[in-house]
Amino acid sequence: MALKVGIVGLPNVGKSTLFNAVSTSAKAQASNYRFCTIDPNVGLVDVPDERMKKLEELVQPKKTIPTQIEVVDIAGLVKGASRGEGLGNKFLGNIREVDAIIHVIRCFEDENVMRDEGDINPVGDKEIIDTELQLKDLESIDKKLQRISKAARVGGDAKMKAELAVVEKCKEWLEQGKNVRELGLTKEELPAIADLFLLTIKPTLYVANVDEASMHTGNKYSEALQKAADAEGAEMIVLNNNIEAQIAEMEDPDDKAMFFEEYGMKEAGLDVLLRAAYKLLNLNTYFTAGVQEVRAWTIKDGWKAPQAAGVIHTDFEKGFIKAEVMSYDDFVSHGSEQACKEAGRLRIEGKEYIVKDGDIMHFRFNV
């Protein structure tokens, strides 16, 4: 599954620093001037999962392959982006292509880091980005209304009239300065706007980039941002992006352990961030475990066994017969697949089985 998370924010808030810290396959230039990033940087990120270590210990495979998310470092947006300011149309187009947004917001003071927006104001910075995305969405909504409103009102069928009602509801909501993801559209309503690829419908996680002194406790800026995030039912994480970038460069586990101890950290903040992003995308993980490899596979919550099999190969889904399933807890408790079989903890599931997070699976198929 090519799931993408886009890192957005105003210029010089720490987006590229965060991207460099999380990405395992690419690095972005991070400089103290606007539009250092023009074309988006794209990298792959391993999703941390402690269960992989335990499975590797028990199975002792030749290799271990974690699941990954694609992360996109999108250039800094500015006020007026929806009108094309600062190459805004290009950057907003980049956001359209991602599945979820990590919005990095400056919550630190540093006179050496450029800022054209005046005093440090994380809530105001959030609102600048929100407004630009909302204005762009309104533009898309208005274009669709022009296409369908007359046809829906004059002889339109019930389906078209229902679609019009949803589009008008979104327009009214956006005009109040609110994001469509907060509107609570139903599964039946969502198809009416699916063709618009709205920016403000994308699930969003806020990152408060704080100074080193505030990385554990937060500060007045991150506290203000937290209130704004809570008001829209969103999650926020406090990070010091520079510290996380240093941790990401460390290869020696002992060096990393000493660094954690020095800074009073139990784990890298990026691990917390990546797990939150995974949750934001409504994702689950299942595993395949054998002597050749232990591998994690990403699926959407609620997927059935054939869909999950299709992530490995489309032939697995097309020719799906059955799935052999063990829970992670049972596998760890009994120690092996054979022991699970002997204890009656290996199940045979059919096409209607909804795969659970942590399932260990083998698929039977015929093409």
**Which CATH number goes with the domain that contains 311?**
3.10.20.30
Sheet with strand 360-365: strands edge to edge: 63-65, 293-300, 283-289, 360-365, 320-326, 347-349
Torsions phi, psi for 225 (to 5 deg): -65, -40
Residue 288 placed within a domain: no
CA distance 81 to 104: 17
Question: Which is more confidently placed, 114 or 199?
Answer: 199
Give 29's pLDDT tier (boundaries 50, 70, 90).
very low
For residue 85 the two structure tokens come to 């300011």
Confirm or deny that 12 is annotated as ligand binding: yes
CA distance 266 to 337: 32
Please classify residue 260 by burial: count the beta carbons closer than 10 Å to its beta carbon, then call 0-12 exposed, 13-18 middle and 19+ buried.
middle
Do 211 and 274 sit in the same domain of this protein?
Answer: yes
Confirm or deny that 14 is annotated as ligand binding: yes
What is the per-residue pLDDT across 203-222, written as a single tens digit (0 to 9) for each? 999 999 999 999 999 999 99
Mean pLDDT of 190-199: 94
Confirm or deny that 8 is annotated as ligand binding: no
For residue 160 the two structure tokens come to 């078209």
What pLDDT, on a 0 to 100 scale, did the predictor assign at position 213? 92
Strand 235-239 to strand 204-210: parallel, antiparallel, or no bridges (unpaired)?
parallel
In DSSP terms, 349 is beta-bridged to: 323
Do 94 and 191 sit in the same domain of this protein?
Answer: no
Question: Which is more confidently placed, 29 or 176?
Answer: 176
Do 76 and 106 sit in the same domain of this protein?
Answer: yes
Q: How many domains does the chain have?
A: 3
Identify the domain boundary among 279, 310, 328: 279
What is the per-residue pLDDT across 300-341, written as a single tens digit (0 to 9) for each? 999 999 999 999 999 999 999 999 999 999 999 999 999 999
* Domain, as residue range, for 179: 129-196
Do 68 and 106 sit in the same domain of this protein?
Answer: yes
Identify the domain boundary among 196, 215, 249: 196
Confirm or deny that 42 is annotated as ligand binding: no
Average pLDDT along the chain: 87
CA distance 119 to 175: 27
Do 106 and 220 sit in the same domain of this protein?
Answer: yes
pTM: 0.84
Residue 185 CA, chain-centre distance (Å), reads 20
For 356, residues 6+ apart whose C-beta sits below 8 A from its C-beta are: 284, 286, 327
Identify the domain boundary among 173, 196, 219: 196
Closest CA to 195 of 146, 140, 148, 142: 140
Closest CA to 334 of 1, 107, 54: 54
